[in-house]
Structure 1
Amino acid sequence: MGVLLWWCSRQNYLLFHAVVEIGSVVVACLMGFLALSIPKGERNPLACGIGALYLAVAAVDVLHTLAFKGMGVFTGFSANLSTQLWILARILESAGLLAVILFHSRRPFFPAFSTVLLLLSTAGLAEVFNGRFPDCYLPETGLTFFKIFAEWGISAVLVLSAVIVLRSENPVLRPFRRALAASLFLTVASEMSFTLYTDVYGAMNMLGHLFKAASFYVLLVGVVRKSLENPLFTVYLPVLHGQQEFLKGLSGPSFLLDARGLVVLSNRDVPSGTPLEEALPEGLRRQAEEWLQEVKNEKEVLRREISFDGTDLLVTVRGLKDLEGKFSGAAFVSLDLTEQRETTARVRFLSSIVENSLNESYVLDPHTLRFEYANRGALEALGLTPGEILGRTLLDIAPNLTLEQLLERIDPICSGRQETVSFVEQHRKSDGGLYEVFLRLQGFGEGADRKIVAMGLDVSRRVRTLSTLRETNAMLAQLFENAPVGMFYCDKEGRVLKVNRAALRMFGYRKDEVLKKTVEEILVPEADREISLGHWKTLFGEGRSILLEATRRKKDGSSLPIRVIGVPVFVKGEAKGACLLYVDLTAEREARKATERLNRLLEAQVREERRVWEETIKVLARATELRDPYTAG
């Protein structure tokens, strides 16, 4: 065909031009009439937009053909008129194609687009025939700067449209991407040819017309005819536009097929137009062909459960029909039952955990407040059977809870202000015994299916433990406060955190004068501070207690002899602080001095008495000697 048209252009260029342009107009009109003849409910918005556009382009192209140099229809006009009409048609075509590609899926696109197209076409023709449209061809100089610049601008818009088409994942555009892109690039080639000619009968002008005819033909065959031949693209595809994400969410390979078994949509990386047997693993191809044949033969839905490559699949094949009841495609959907069965087993496992949990679990109706479920842990704690608990409310097992309190606590959950509400309440067993329970209420579900789940933890032992702990802490606090020796509790930096009354009396301070200050600041004489700081290393670095006697400074500046006992406090192996005990040695030292004085007096008295006894013995000894006749001289 191309060779024949080239030969025709060599013999009679006017005949060639008329044949090409009239052929393009016929193709454009066919696109418009075919696209717009489809019933409104079945229209493909892309095909309809292209059809309306090319009807307007065809009208301008008819005038361009009649105005071509040598036709003699519009007397008084030069070749400039035909070129102006050509530029007007191409501006409408390029801008209209970009608008259709970008906005065809918006509503109401078609009425608005048709109206704007009619107004722009009419205004453009009025500008051309009134002489206000810029000159495009001057017989003396050839193509004007505006004509060349316009062709480059039109080409840029067409290339942009082609890039958008090729990168689009829109389900409506995707089946026509190749045809649209090919048509757009052929139009670009046509426009580039029309920037190079100097003679309206020249070779580049002829080549440009051939490219234009080819672009129109590709649009007719690749977009309009395809959407008419396969009703899937006009009936089902717009509906399935919103189902693309649904297909992607299916666990097994799933496809939407046309009447020939070619893929239109899928949840796998399978290009549109791929035969189903190529899209499936080899082991499933033969079965898939048989299933498709069955749904074609009037079997509406086919379901099969199969095992393939270690995976269990549930396959559903449903035939699709057009408005006349003819087979137009099929939906091939598969679900991975392996995952589903694992999920079911996991749900059963979790349900078993809830049922057999030692904690109490309840499900309540938020409107009636009645129990709809209670697990084994709840039944055993209350001493009730499943039949006895169902129909009761939380008020029946919590004697200290009033209806007003319960409604107040569940209101934030029912209104959506809070996800959970927690509180401690007493539950009553079937034998009348009470025990403490920590309850956490949480809402699940939406609308009429919304329930309140209550999780209960028996904290009676914990409550008793906490009560005992509080009593022990109170007792220890009293012991600390009322101890007869001075006591300081310090952190790791030696700052005083707690101090008892005996210590305050011992050193003459008020409590606010001591807290948050270091022991060295308030008690240790300046000469002894280095030694005192070294004691902290013994306490915290070595973890050993200290026992020493030293002199400390009172508030009034006087010295006080004391005995210091330091004990480090460790929690989970980490030093938290130290407890320092101070014993006033004043009385002890005075008693020691008095004892020493008494000892000295006693020793002196003993020495004196010994001397007297020794003198007495000597006197007695002499007297004895004088009386003895044998020793007397």
Structure 2
Amino acid sequence: MGKNSRIVIYKIIFWAVVISLLHLINLSNNLFFHTLVELFSVIIAYVIFLVAWESKTFLENRYLLLIGISCFFFGTLDLLHTLSYERMGIFPGGMNLSTQLWIASRYLEGGSFLIASLLLMSSRALSIKKDTSPAEKVRFAREIFLAYTGVTLVLLLSIFVFRNFPVAYIEGVGLTAFKVISEYVISLTLVCSLILLYLKRDRFENHVFRLLAASIILTVLSELTATTFTQVDDFSFAIGHYFKLLSFYLIYTAIVSTGFSEPYSILFREL
């Protein structure tokens, strides 16, 4: 058995153990389970952002830079979603507020992958020329950051201040039509981004492309699963969070872990 095969087996065993432990936690304490999974996702999102931001002056693939920057913002919405979860007692609003923040975060995530993939179709729009100055790369990163700041502020104002964000959950009834339809729209957005990513897979190392593609697929499964649960203790609710947990891990592996172990492969692919 080769080294790579052993590593894969070890990872499978590791995640089998992790998910088994999380399942046991979910059976006894749903709130603790939800908090653990969501905080893991938030931490990974922030780590990805930090790596992408610190690499902005020499990162040659703007797809990765845009996804990296967007992680900070949908990670922040995920953090607020976690803190507003029922029984946390931090924000008033119950499950509706928490579900609204979930939907806002997923729209931001799905839109980010689609925009990055659309830009990927245009070499001029996405690929930085070798003679592009660091100042121009920094300006691009700052423009993306400011754009996401504006969009995120609009979402937060709509949810917390103006309260005109559509209702996503009704106590005693369950998910609203807006929430269910939104999950399908987000899933379709992610599928479109995956198709575009596949068409331009030559921009990435093969294993990086596979990791990104698998992450998007798991995110789609998470979204579709989120349309089926009626109560937070439903099994489908836990399954959706397992998919999300694994999808963030794959993004981390593709961008952060691979970036550190094989920096020239991921950062200078365009060259």
Paired residues of 2:70 and 2:112 also in contact (CA < 8 A): yes
Of 241, 247, 261, 1:209 maps to 241
1:84 matched to 2:127: no
Name the residue aligned to 2:110.
94
Of 67, 86, 97, 1:69 maps to 86
Give 1:194 deviation, angstroms.
0.7
Matches of 1:221 and 1:160, distance apart in 2: 23
Higher strand share: 1
Matches of 1:211 and 1:49, distance apart in 2: 23
In the TM superposition, 1:443-454 aligns within 5 A as: none
Paired residues of 2:63 and 2:119 also in contact (CA < 8 A): no
Name the residue aligned to 1:22.
39
Matches of 1:68 and 1:54, distance apart in 2: 21
Matches of 1:228 and 1:80, distance apart in 2: 40
- Matched residues, number: 238
Of 181, 195, 200, 2:213 maps to 181
Matches of 1:90 and 1:11, distance apart in 2: 28
Matches of 1:8 and 1:15, distance apart in 2: 7
Give 1:176 deviation, angstroms.
2.3
Q: SS state of the match for residue 237, structure 1?
A: coil
TM-score when scaled to structure 2?
Answer: 0.82
Give 1:118 deviation, angstroms.
1.1
Between structure 1 and structure 2, the one with the greater Rg is 1
Aligned residue identity for 1:207: I
Name the residue aligned to 2:64.
47
In the TM superposition, 1:437-448 aligns within 5 A as: none
Paired residues of 1:9 and 1:16 also in contact (CA < 8 A): yes
Matches of 1:181 and 1:175, distance apart in 2: 10
TM-score when scaled to structure 1?
Answer: 0.36
Name the residue aligned to 1:132.
164
1:7 matched to 2:39: no
In the TM superposition, 1:98-109 aligns within 5 A as: 98-103=114-119, 105-106=126-127, 109=140
Matches of 1:33 and 1:112, distance apart in 2: 16
Aligned residue identity for 2:96: N
Matches of 1:27 and 1:54, distance apart in 2: 9
Percent of pairs identical after alignment? 32
In the TM superposition, 1:138-287 aligns within 5 A as: 138-172=170-204, 176-234=208-266, 236-239=268-271
Name the residue aligned to 2:10.
none
Q: SS state of the match for residue 238, structure 1?
A: coil
Matches of 1:201 and 1:176, distance apart in 2: 35
Name the residue aligned to 1:369.
none
Name the residue aligned to 2:143.
112
Give 1:113 deviation, angstroms.
2.5
**TM-superposition CA deviations, 1:29-55 (whole Å, max 9, x none):** 111112222261245423322211111
In the TM superposition, 1:598-613 aligns within 5 A as: none
Q: SS state of the match for residue 58, structure 2?
A: helix
Matches of 1:98 and 1:72, distance apart in 2: 35
Cα distance change on mapping 1:138 and 1:236 into 2, 3 Å? closer
Cα distance change on mapping 1:14 and 1:169 into 2, 3 Å? closer
Matches of 1:46 and 1:173, distance apart in 2: 13
**TM-superposition CA deviations, 1:260-296 (whole Å, max 9, x none):** xxxxxxxxxxxxxxxxxxxxxxxxxxxxxxxxxxxxx
Cα distance change on mapping 1:50 and 1:209 into 2, 3 Å? same
Give 1:173 deviation, angstroms.
6.9
Higher helix share: 2
Paired residues of 2:62 and 2:127 also in contact (CA < 8 A): no
Q: SS state of the match for residue 177, structure 1?
A: helix
Name the residue aligned to 2:6.
none
Give 1:204 deviation, angstroms.
1.4
Cα distance change on mapping 1:238 and 1:2 into 2, 3 Å? same
Give 1:234 deviation, angstroms.
4.7
Q: SS state of the match for residue 181, structure 1?
A: helix
1:56 matched to 2:73: yes
Cα distance change on mapping 1:82 and 1:230 into 2, 3 Å? same
**TM-superposition CA deviations, 1:150-202 (whole Å, max 9, x none):** 00000001111112222324424755221111000100110011100111232
Name the residue aligned to 2:13.
none
The CA RMSD over aligned residues, in Å, is: 1.9
Cα distance change on mapping 1:163 and 1:73 into 2, 3 Å? same
Give 1:228 deviation, angstroms.
2.7
**TM-superposition CA deviations, 1:597-619 (whole Å, max 9, x none):** xxxxxxxxxxxxxxxxxxxxxxx
Unpaired runs of at least 5, structure 1:
240-633
Name the residue aligned to 1:496.
none
Matches of 1:194 and 1:232, distance apart in 2: 38
Paired residues of 1:27 and 1:216 also in contact (CA < 8 A): yes
Matches of 1:234 and 1:162, distance apart in 2: 19
Aligned residue identity for 2:144: F
Paired residues of 1:44 and 1:227 also in contact (CA < 8 A): no
Aligned residue identity for 1:124: L
**TM-superposition CA deviations, 1:548-605 (whole Å, max 9, x none):** xxxxxxxxxxxxxxxxxxxxxxxxxxxxxxxxxxxxxxxxxxxxxxxxxxxxxxxxxx
Cα distance change on mapping 1:29 and 1:169 into 2, 3 Å? closer
Give 1:93 deviation, angstroms.
0.2
Aligned residue identity for 1:123: V
1:35 matched to 2:67: no
Q: SS state of the match for residue 52, structure 1?
A: helix
Matches of 1:175 and 1:211, distance apart in 2: 20
Aligned residue identity for 2:158: E
Paired residues of 1:46 and 1:173 also in contact (CA < 8 A): no
Matches of 2:105 and 2:268, distance apart in 1: 34
Paired residues of 1:57 and 1:93 also in contact (CA < 8 A): yes
Matches of 1:39 and 1:196, distance apart in 2: 40
